[in-house]
Amino acid sequence: MKTALTIAGSDSCGGAGIQADIKTMTMHGVYAMSAVTALTAQNTTGVSGIMEVDPAFLEKQLESIFTDIFPDAVKIGMVSGVELIQVIAMILKKYHAKNIIVDPVMVATSGSKLLADQAVETLEKELLPMAYLVTPNIPEAEILAGMPIRTQEDMEKAAEYIGTKFGCNVLLKGGHQLNEANDLLWKDGKISWFYGERINNPNTHGTGCTLSSAIASNLAKGYSLEISIEKAKNYISLALAAMLDLGQGNGPMNHAFSITDQK
Ligand SMILES: Nc1ncnc2c1ncn2[C@@H]1O[C@H](COP(=O)(O)OP(=O)(O)OP(=O)(O)O)[C@@H](O)[C@H]1O
Ligand SMILES: Cc1ncc(COP(=O)(O)O)c(N)n1
């Protein structure tokens, strides 16, 4: 069985973060492992608290994993502080981790900040150059590229800037646009678009986490990057189309869309 590791924050309501990643990897038939960077007290209406893990304890978790079960892919999500990022970079280098996907989680859909301002620079310097793929949404890409993104042309410019500057492939997610769910891949200097039909479901909590862990799962299984993205977008569409409606705010998706016995 192929294996994947998520290094991310816990979302107590189970829609995003580590919980979304483990559900996604499991539904892809991949064995999921986790290293927790922070606990969040969170529900569909917002984040009420964040407790960062001690960097030395994150190191212990990662050492335990890498000295025993080597992950075929690694997904990195919410990492709120400088030292945590440094520990991750050190361990991934030490063990020659492969198929590293960085989802540069900065702000939750609900508006809460999940990354300290001074950590953006460390993320850029330490993690992005190690990544096979980085998956910013439009607001995150605006920060990484230092430019406003309003049109598809802006998306292309920003992706090229990020990919060239940090030496990694870039999937710029268009889920924040009004009418479309079109994402742009910048890979080795070439641009390709992944077109998606926008599903009319307001419950999109965790779509970004789910996309990056679905891509990681597909890469772990040996699919090319392009096929991994195509399959991951299809997984999100099915999970959104299952129209789960939980909680009073931006609710989670239904990962168990293929399981018919849901009572
Ligand atoms: N309503 C939708 N219908 C279909 N696909 C969607 C929809 N919303 C988002 N997506 C897709 O989900 C993936 C995640 O995109 P999005 O831009 O929402 O990421 P994100 O902002 O990081 O997510 P999050 O809301 O978890 O922070 C992308 O492939 C995007 O195209
Ligand atoms: C622990 C954790 N990680 C990531 C997100 C981003 O997901 P979203 O933007 O859908 O809230 C989150 N809310 N919580």
Percentage of residues in the chain with pLDDT exceeding 70? 98
User: How high is the pLDDT of residue 247?
Assistant: 97
Specify the CATH number for the domain of residue 97.
Answer: 3.40.1190.20
Chain centroid offset of residue 95 CA: 21
Domains of the chain: total: 1
Residue 158 lies in a domain: yes
Q: Is residue 219 part of a domain?
A: yes
Residue 49 lies in a domain: yes
**Distance set, CA 169 to CA 16, 22, 137, 162, 196 (Å):** 23, 24, 14, 9, 20
Distance from C-alpha of 193 to C-alpha of 76, rounded to nearest angstrom: 23
Query: For position 179, what pLDDT does the model report?
Result: 65
Domain span at residue 174 reads 3-241
Plot region of 154 (φ>0 → left; ψ -120 to 50 → alpha; else → beta): alpha
Residue 4 phi, psi dihedral angles, 5° rounding: -140, 150
Instruction: Answer yes or no: is 263 within a domain.
Output: no
Looking at residues 83-104, what average pLDDT do you find? 98
Instruction: Assess whether 204 carries a catalytic annotation.
Output: yes
d(CA 143, CA 162) in angstroms, rounded, equals 10
List pLDDT tens digits, range 5-61: 999 999 999 999 999 999 999 999 999 999 999 999 999 999 999 999 999 999 999
> Does 248 fall in a domain?
no
Question: What confidence tens digit (pLDDT) does each residue in 114-148 have?
Answer: 888 889 999 999 999 999 999 999 999 999 999 99
Q: Quick check: helix, strand or coil at residue 153?
A: helix
| % the chain with pLDDT above 90 | 88
Nearest ligand 2 atom to the CA of 11 is 1
Q: How far is the CA of 15 from the centre of ligand 2 (A)?
A: 8
- Classify residue 127: in a domain, yes or no: yes
Q: What is the pLDDT of residues 172-185, one digit of tens each?
A: 998 766 667 899 99
Residue 70 lies in a domain: yes
Q: How far is the CA of 56 from the centre of ligand 1 (A)?
A: 33
Binding site membership of 182 for ligand 2 (Cβ less than 6 Å)? no
pLDDT over 90 at 81, yes or no: yes
Per-chain mean pLDDT for the chain: 95
Asked if the structure places residue 252 within a domain, the reply is no
